[in-house]
Amino acid sequence: MKPQDIEDLKQLIEFLKAHQVAEFDLDRGDMKIRLKFSQQETATAGLGDLARLLASAPAGVAQAVSAAGQPVATTPATAPAVDPDAGLHIVKSPIVGTYYGSPSPGASPFVSPGDHVEKGQVICIIEAMKLMNEIESDAAGEIVKCLVSNGQPIEFGQPLFSVRQG
């Protein structure tokens, strides 16, 4: 490796540590890089976090990754961030289909953030094979966030809503 490549790789490592990324893998043809940082508590960055990190990475860091061809020793990272959504119940899709938040186009939504729902209350519709399936809440509480948008394709087990139980 060239001295500049090593310096760029060091910058990448510092960048990943600063953003508390637990693991980073890159596989481009014959080049493979795997960085794994040990942390005081077990917490990992999500795919969305990693995508934002890669999008905001400096150009020199991205070039260092493509030029480096060997695994790198790891160093400890800083303490992980606290998750503000910890303890929320997640309502997941029981089927594959298309999500609809209201009974018909232009109608008011079944639920919105801040609404209180009861267990068994209809919270959305998922269309599957031209059938409209009413999805009921499996927990009582306050809707905190809708995690999908109207007309979005949904997978089995995909999170739909976060609910603060109580």
pLDDT digits (tens, 9 = 90+) for 112-139: 999 999 999 999 999 999 899 999 999 9
Q: What span, in angstroms and rounded, lies between the C-alpha atoms of 50 and 45?
A: 7
pLDDT digits (tens, 9 = 90+) for 32-77: 777 777 655 444 456 666 666 666 655 554 444 444 444 444 444 5
pTM for this entry: 0.49
Q: How far apart are the first and last CA of the chain?
A: 57
**Token pair belonging to 66:** 């493509």
Domain 89-165, CATH class in plain words: mainly beta
Q: Domain coordinates of the chain in residue numbers?
A: 3-67, 89-165
Torsion of CA 26, 85, 89, 156, to 10 degrees: -30
